[in-house]
Amino acid sequence: MSTKYFQSENEKEINIINFTMLEEEAKKIIPAGGYGYINGGAEDEWTLRMNTEAFNHKQIVPRSLTDVEKPDLTTTIYGEKISMPIFMTTVASHGLAHKDGEIATAKGTAAAGTIMGISTYSTKSLDEIMTASTGPKWFQLYMSKDDKFNEYMIGKAVANGAKAVILTVDATLGGYREADLKNNFIFPLPMGNLESLGEGLGQSISEIFANAKQKIGIKDIEKIVAMTDLPVIVKGIESPEDALLAIGAGAKGIYVSNHGGRQLDGGPASFDVLESIAKAVNKKVPIIFDSGVRRGQHVFKALASWCRPSWNWRPAIYGLVVGGSKGVTSVFKHFAKELKIVMQLAGCQTVEDIKKAKLLSIKILKDESKKKVN
């Protein structure tokens, strides 16, 4: 481990007002290179910004006469009951945020009663993370050119009790991330699952992606599906066409994501494509969603657009910086607090009720406004 990279050792609960303020606090602690990698997006970061702004394209209709109080956030996915429809998504190198890395994140996520996603490019090894807590975990695979490595990692995940495999398909090369270039950022810490390959430490994310599979198609999904009995969820889907191709290849879940705005700048916000993908999938498999989620209302809107759970990662990583495992738990508790408020004001007692909630389109509102003017 490099002695030059500062790692937070904080371990405390956090009083969160909002995630913008939490990010500002984390920025004061984490080194510039690490912060740029976590916070930054591709090119002009238009898609990164739109990921959050897009939630304003829909409005939640308040419902007052529905006899709702104390909304229930519990839900089930692939037979796993969890405390809330919000997960910890897969993101590389939690060691950039905290000395205990993914071990702390796993403990914090388990304490919140929800699912932890584990990246192939984690600081800690898969074995260490899987045994760090008893909470449910899903393993995310960046597909290697070496099928033996893919099979080895999936086998290890299965042996350690992973409940699902996430196959990322939108990172066959790195997006043009200017923050990393300005900071001359290379990973200052080893990646536990790549050490035997001599990869990770001292490389940029583009160099690491260059060692992964550069071309991915339906045969690759079929290959991964054949390696395990676990549900395979295909991550990085932004079009109905790709969603249907993935399902045809055996995917048991569709993960709508644009990699947090870090790959293709100028592409749509994930929320803006969620509805069209949900209509195409037509409940054949669960739809999972991330990108830009910063509020309980964002989670509500995603669920009302027929996704199952929503994933968060930047807020949780900022919580990890500021408060370690307890900080991660604090982030989930804050999401749950906001979501319960939204559910009650929107007349939804359960997560299933949210799927029936009505969202208004901002386009419709503009059209109505024009009618009044005329």
Catalytic residue chosen out of the listed positions 57, 94, 98, 259: 259
pLDDT (0 to 100) of residue 307: 84
Which residues in the chain land under pLDDT 70?
Answer: 1-3, 363-374
**CB–CB of 268/181 below 8 Å?**
no
Q: Which pair of tokens denotes residue 306?
A: 């027929």
Q: How far apart, in Å, are the Cα atoms of 207 and each of 141, 163, 201, 239?
A: 17, 30, 11, 27
What is the SS3 assignment for 58? strand
d(CA 119, CA 108): 16
- Diameter of the chain by CA atoms? 69
Nearest Cα to Cα of residue 123 among 144, 101, 139? 101
> How confident is the model at residue 362, as a pLDDT?
73
The CA-based angle 12-13-15, given to 5 degrees, is 130
Using H for helix, E for strand and C for coil, what is the string for 166-213? EEECCCCCCCCCHHHHHCCCCCCCCCCCCHHHCCCCCCCHHHHHHCEC
270 within 8 A of 292, measured Cβ to Cβ: yes
Alpha-carbon distances, residue 283 vs 306, 355, 368 (angstroms): 8, 12, 32
d(CA 144, CA 131): 24
What's the CATH architecture for 19-373? Alpha-Beta Barrel (3.20)
Asked if 139 and 162 count as a contact pair (C-beta separation under 8 A), the reply is: yes
For residue 259, indicate whether it is catalytic.
yes
Q: Tell me the per-residue pLDDT of 134-154, one tens digit each, with 9 for 90 and over.
A: 999 999 999 999 999 999 999
Total count of residues recorded for the chain: 374
CA–CA distance, 172 with 194 (Å, rounded to integer)? 17
Residues 268, 274, 280: CA angle, nearest 5 degrees: 120
How much of the chain, in percent, has pLDDT values that exceed 70? 96
- pLDDT value at residue 363: 65
pTM: 0.94
Task: Catalogue the E-assigned strands of the chain.
Answer: 58-60, 75-77, 80-82, 86-88, 116-118, 137-142, 164-168, 232-237, 253-256, 287-289, 310-312, 359-361
Q: Which phi-psi region, left, alpha or beta, contains residue 344 (left: φ > 0; alpha: ψ -120 to 50)?
A: alpha
